[in-house]
Structure 1
Amino acid sequence: MKKSFLSYVCTFYVISLVIVFSYALTATALNSDEIRNHLGTRTPYRFKSNKDDSKINFPNCKDSKIWMVARHGTRLPSVKDIVAISTILKDLRVDILLRNRSGKGPLNKEKLQWFENWSNGIPLEQENYLTLEGQDEMILLAERMQKRFPNAIKNKYNNETFMFRYTATQRAQQSAKYFTIGLFDKKNSQQVFFEPALKVDTTLRFYKHCDRWQKQVKRNPDTYKEVALFGQSKEMNDTLLSVSKRLGLDKALTLEQVVLMYRVCGYETSWHKYTKSPWCFGFDEKSIKVLEYYEDLKKYWVDGYGHTQQAACMVMRNMFDTMSKSGRNATFLFSHSGTVLKLLTHLELYKPDSHLKGDAMDENRPWRTSDIDCFASNIAFVLFKCKDGDKILTLHQEKVVKLPMCEKKLCPLNELKKQFHNTIHNCNFTDLCSIN
């Protein structure tokens, strides 16, 4: 596995350099502000992270423990997307170049050069691998969190103080590894012990093994009704025509083609800090928001408030157990998008006033995956020992948030336990996930 990963790093680095140098002359001419903040779950964390890493203080209180779950950093696509990129987008690229070279499209020479230089060289065996950007995300996240909570997160590793755990995936394992480099530097991070990854992890990836959720939500056609409705709407049809026109094509692209372009626009924007994906050229501010809503709808009905996410109590209970026990005072868990979104739902954060629907876009929705579930998204709970009792501070994307069930941002632990009584005492995976 080490050989494969090292080979991937070298390959990806070479590809990155080629793209950077090929596009360097035109990079300054591109304005990505209207695109980069609407890339859904493939939005890079550098656009959403909290750069203020100053120590977080409260009068008469001291940070003593931290529990944090993080989505893995920026990754490569799945096998399905890699195959689609090398077939669907490869053919589309030829059509775009032919149309625009013959003067039948609006793309200028600079943009055409981006399409000329674009290529896909991702081996199938490296599907979902953590990228160089993903490594950076984890290192920088760890450094900032340590500066904010220096008492809870010591700068010297001790097996009795720290706990690191990840799912049985390369991207989560590597995310954990680079996070520890951010905490302890490369040399000292070699001493870190990681909890063995579980093939059946009912805490970090509970939904994958929850038969009831798989049947009633994931594989239930009704779950995708609103997504399908929006995919057939006039708004989406207008978007497909708009994207086609912006690329100079003489017929409307299909929904599958445009969604793939949107996904690759996100991936390539995440991978490369200083260049722009040519597949973003088909979008303007209006069309990118339509594609963002299309993805938000799916995530809302699969992982969010569209259905009850009771099994998320598994990961939340882990937090309460950690805070209540003596011993390790810094716990870091590395998981996936589905875990983060379901936990946010369990915490009642970013809940719309009503269900998101496919017949009209909710422009003001708080449920926006570009903001709440980008690459390296994270949720942290910090225990403060205060003169008037133990209190919990909640952070999302490194920003302090007030839980709806708490009066203040710094919430008394006993009050929080009362609010999550069922989570703590009535959370049985077998009962929640068995199909009667």
Structure 2
Amino acid sequence: WPMWYEESLDGRLAPQGRRDMEQLARRMAARFPALFAARRRLALASSSKHRCLQSGAAFRRGLGPTLDFGGDEVEVEVNDSLMRFFDHCAKFVALVEENDTAMSQVNTFKEGPEMKKVLEKVASALCLPVEELNADLVQVAFLTCSYELAIKNVTSPWCSLFSEEDAKVLEYLNDLKQYWKRGYGYDINSRSSCILFQDIFQHLDKAVEESKSSKPISSPLIVQVGHAETLQPLLALMGYFKDHEPLLANNYGRQAQRKFRSGRIVPYAANLVFVLYHCDHVNASQEEYQVQLLLNERLLPFHHSNETTSTYTDLKDYYKDILENCHFKEECELPQVNVTAVDEL
């Protein structure tokens, strides 16, 4: 097996990633031709990370020269406070990101019977004593297998080390990490994303107001490019993919049918789209503005109705608490430690 990966590739968008974003843009334009029509304004925001800026550029390129979004060099607004809100949330950084005990379920699973079985099989296949391997090394081999498939479309020799059952165990290990670090494990994981959730609804509110005043929509198309770590907490905030039972180190067997599968929720080029419709000929005024939600280009049913279309009013009512009472500054403040004044004793 030739080692092709170089450090210079770290954090960069792979050629396959560029193609994914260009093709996503083309499919979106075909699905929503009125939104992507010539001379409609495209507002593009991105995380400061190089791969996100490259993803945004690839998306723009995918729309082709026929769409006049102000030339090829669309102004990209770097906005880490929205796209990397987790970096700016002191409570998340201290209690989850930099807290070793926060990942206790992940570490326990690494030492558990399911991982032990995988370790023994891999050690035997490599003719190594099992003591020379650990869960992290086995995970690197599994990720190398998956990266080569995703990036180069080849079946890596590293894949031959794993059976389908081994892959399920390693998938669960990754899901455990995502669950406790970006999902439902701790409230702050999702609450830190309310700044982005509220930003989305501010854009939708503005479009509704402009439409009601018969003004042209100032930002008909807004593309924000972030990370899996941006999207996963947002979907948790909205209540999606929540299982009855939390993901734990000791319930692997019971989680075979779990909803929380990060590889399906936030795959490469994952995308969440809010589509606002202005509907004529409706029975009631609150039906005039309706919304659909697409995750990875598939309609996502709304929680409050289990339908794939909702009135904008009903959607705002359902998320009223998050929209009005989730304040990023307060949510992310570290709790003050009470210090008793010694001189009072």
Q: TM-score range by the shorter chain?
A: 0.7 to 0.9
Q: 2:196 aligns with which of 293, 311, 315?
A: 315
Residue 163 of structure 1: aligned partner: 43
CA distance in 2, matches of 1:295, 1:251: 25
Matching of residue 233 in structure 1 with residue 124 in structure 2: no
Deviations 1:258-298 (A, max 9, x none): 0111121121111112x212221111100011000000001
CA distance in 1, matches of 2:234, 2:117: 35
CA distance in 1, matches of 2:178, 2:29: 31
Deviations 1:132-184 (A, max 9, x none): 00000001111111111111222x244xx211111111100000000011113
User: Unaligned stretches of 5+ in structure 1?
Assistant: 1-114
Deviations 1:379-403 (A, max 9, x none): 1110112233211101101000102
- Alignment partner of 2:146: what SS? helix
Deviations 1:342-384 (A, max 9, x none): 0110111111111001013111111011111111111111011
- Alignment partner of 1:276: what SS? coil
Deviation of residue 121 (structure 1)? 4.3
Paired residues for 1:303-342 under 5 Å: 303-308=182-187, 309-326=190-207, 327-342=218-233
Equivalent position amino acid for 2:265 in 1? I
CA distance in 1, matches of 2:60, 2:259: 32
Residue 122 of structure 2: aligned partner: 243
Equivalent position amino acid for 1:423 in 2? I
CA distance in 2, matches of 1:354, 1:228: 19
- Percent identity for Structure 1 against Structure 2: 25
CA distance in 1, matches of 2:24, 2:115: 36
Residue 4 of structure 2: aligned partner: 120
Q: Per the alignment, do residues 223 and 157 of structure 1 end up closer, same or farther by CA in structure 2, a change over 3 Å counting?
A: farther
Paired residues for 1:293-372 under 5 Å: 293-308=172-187, 309-326=190-207, 327-361=218-252, 362-372=255-265
CA distance in 2, matches of 1:421, 1:131: 40
Cα contact 2:277–2:289 (8 A) shared by 1: yes
CA distance in 2, matches of 1:260, 1:187: 42
Which of 417-426 and 342-351 deviates more?
Answer: 417-426
CA distance in 1, matches of 2:93, 2:104: 17
Cα contact 2:44–2:77 (8 A) shared by 1: no
Q: Per the alignment, do residues 194 and 202 of structure 1 end up closer, same or farther by CA in structure 2, a change over 3 Å counting?
A: same
Q: 1:377 aligns with which of 254, 257, 270?
A: 270
Residue 342 of structure 2: aligned partner: none
CA distance in 2, matches of 1:337, 1:350: 15
Q: 1:419 aligns with which of 294, 312, 318?
A: 318
Deviation of residue 427 (structure 1)? 3.6
Deviations 1:315-347 (A, max 9, x none): 111111111114111111100111110011011
Q: 2:297 aligns with which of 398, 409, 413?
A: 398
Residue 140 of structure 2: aligned partner: 260
Equivalent position amino acid for 1:254 in 2? N
Cα contact 1:381–1:392 (8 A) shared by 2: yes
Deviations 1:46-87 (A, max 9, x none): xxxxxxxxxxxxxxxxxxxxxxxxxxxxxxxxxxxxxxxxxx
Q: Per the alignment, do residues 222 and 250 of structure 1 end up closer, same or farther by CA in structure 2, a change over 3 Å counting?
A: closer
Residue 221 of structure 1: aligned partner: 100
- Alignment partner of 2:13: what SS? coil
Cα contact 2:36–2:67 (8 A) shared by 1: no
CA distance in 1, matches of 2:305, 2:76: 33
**Higher RCO (CA 8 Å, separation ≥ 6 residues):** 1
- The TM-score with structure 1 as length reference comes to 0.68
- Alignment partner of 1:164: what SS? strand
Q: 2:75 aligns with which of 190, 194, 197?
A: 194
Deviation of residue 186 (structure 1)? 9.1
Deviations 1:401-424 (A, max 9, x none): 102123411011001111112332
CA distance in 2, matches of 1:255, 1:364: 24
Residue 339 of structure 2: aligned partner: none
CA distance in 2, matches of 1:418, 1:254: 49
CA distance in 2, matches of 1:324, 1:187: 26
CA distance in 2, matches of 1:310, 1:121: 36
Cα contact 2:39–2:67 (8 A) shared by 1: no
CA distance in 2, matches of 1:405, 1:174: 37
Deviation of residue 211 (structure 1)? 0.1
Cα contact 1:242–1:287 (8 A) shared by 2: no
CA distance in 2, matches of 1:322, 1:184: 25
Residue 340 of structure 2: aligned partner: none
Deviation of residue 255 (structure 1)? 1.3
- Alignment partner of 2:52: what SS? helix
CA distance in 2, matches of 1:250, 1:338: 36
CA distance in 1, matches of 2:301, 2:290: 13
CA distance in 2, matches of 1:375, 1:172: 12
